[in-house]
Amino acid sequence: MNSAKQDPHRVAVVAAGIVSPLGFGLTETLQSLRQARDCVTPVTVFPVDKTRCKTAGQIDDEQLLTKAQRCRRARRLHRASHMVITALAELLEDAPGFPPEIVIVGTTSGGMSFGENFYRTLGNGNGCSAALIANYPPQKQIVDAMEKFGMNVPAEVIANACASGTNAIGHAFNAIRAGRYQRILAGGYDALSELVFVGFDSLQAATPEKCRPFDSNRSGMVLGEGAALFALEELESARSRGAEILGEIIGYGISTDNHHLTQPNPDGSGPRRAMEQALAQAKLTPDQVGYINAHGTATILNDSAEGKAIMELFGDVPVSSTKSMMGHSLGAAGAIEAAVTLLALQYQFLPPNINFRESDLSLNVVANEAHEAQFNCAVSNSFGFGGTNATIVFRKFAR
């Protein structure tokens, strides 16, 4: 019997789809990143007259519904369902021969706005619509998208605060790497919810000003929304069927610091452990990483803890938080920012951290404008409430 340990399988990204405040699809997203567009706008989807923060990164409903093809059934679906359908449509257009064996996605709010409406109807004595109940479960949005495109495979939902999207991609990566699957559809989605928006405003974590990650005058985050999905495939399987390979995932790290319900440990130990694990699995040293897409929420505590971890581990590596351009989409953030990181590697540029003036941290911030650069590996970070930390490492695919 051959007892030699089998080498881990390599994991390729063969297609991706995205919708976010930066645009519909990878091409529009790339253009917004290169142009350093500020896509945070006044909130229109619910009233904000009684909140401090009045802005968010939003997706235009008219364009979203047009992309989703208007029909009676489509009008009944949650906005998040339309986002997932739009992202999946782009992915399948680029990879029509990709049949996933399982779907793994991250989310937090899911159909939370349907939950709000459901409880409001209980109080007015008018009964409630079955659609409110049917659309409430967080898995409903990915199920809607699977039904739209005739997929009949298991779906796994990961809800782990703001690390959810990165956890979903990392979990899928590990499953293929270990040989349990050859093809997985992975990503994340979340839509703006009034309950969540008001909650962050009540915590005074949201800012009435511009979102300024890593800036010494940062005053808080703004929320966003969107969806991003990735077709992940074992590399030799992808090569054998002639699939286009956009890049590789080579490392994934997770940690939980359990310091506080909403505040990270100020010593940065949780984020650092996640990044160290991801580098170790990728067999990289910190100096081999050419760019970090930071979690960078623009809150005082998150930025200082993450900044400390990055400075100690990586030193002068270029860093940016693209939340400055599109807001924080919670469970979808890790997936959307993974797509940004992949585009940065593909097109060899550093995405900008806009609204930046000066920092109280010794970070090499990609300030206000995109820059051309040559690098082979990049890191994407996601950190959430409860001290949940996740990091993935991408490598430029060498053909």
Indicate which residue of 162, 171, 211, 377 is catalytic. 162
Would you call 78 a catalytic residue per the annotation?
A: no
Would you call 328 a catalytic residue per the annotation?
A: yes
The domain that contains 22 carries what CATH number? 3.40.47.10
The residues, any chain, with a CB within 8 Å of residue 399's CB and separated by 6 or more, are 245
Would you call 162 a catalytic residue per the annotation?
A: yes
pLDDT score recorded for residue 3: 42
Instruction: Note down pLDDT in tens along the chain; length 399 residues.
Output: 344 567 899 999 999 999 999 999 999 999 999 999 999 999 998 999 999 999 999 999 889 987 655 566 666 788 889 999 999 999 999 998 899 999 999 998 654 666 666 666 765 656 566 666 666 666 888 999 999 999 999 999 998 989 999 999 999 999 999 999 999 999 999 999 898 899 999 989 999 999 999 999 999 999 999 999 999 999 999 999 999 999 999 999 999 988 777 788 889 999 999 999 999 999 999 999 999 999 999 999 999 999 999 999 999 999 999 999 999 999 999 999 999 999 999 999 999 999 999 988 999 999 999 999 999 999 999 998 878 999 999 999 986
20-35: buried (b, 16+ CB within 10 Å) or exposed (e) per residue? bbbbbbbeebbebbbe
CA 40 to chain centre: 17
Examine residue 188 and state whether it is found in any structural domain, yes or no. yes
Examine residue 198 and state whether it is found in any structural domain, yes or no. yes
Examine residue 5 and state whether it is found in any structural domain, yes or no. no
Boundaries of domain holding 84: 11-395
Indicate which residue of 9, 39, 295, 377 is catalytic. 295
Examine residue 243 and state whether it is found in any structural domain, yes or no. yes
CA 335 to chain centre: 3
pLDDT score recorded for residue 139: 80
Examine residue 2 and state whether it is found in any structural domain, yes or no. no
In the chain, the number of structural domains is 1
Examine residue 4 and state whether it is found in any structural domain, yes or no. no
CA neighbor of 243 nearest in space, from 254, 231, 255, 256: 231
Examine residue 99 and state whether it is found in any structural domain, yes or no. yes
Cα 53 to Cα 192: distance, rounded to the nearest angstrom: 14
Examine residue 1 and state whether it is found in any structural domain, yes or no. no
HSE-CB for 237 with a 13 A CA cutoff: 21
pLDDT score recorded for residue 132: 65
pLDDT score recorded for residue 386: 78
The residues, any chain, with a CB within 8 Å of residue 254's CB and separated by 6 or more, are 163, 167, 170, 274, 277, 388, 389, 390, 391
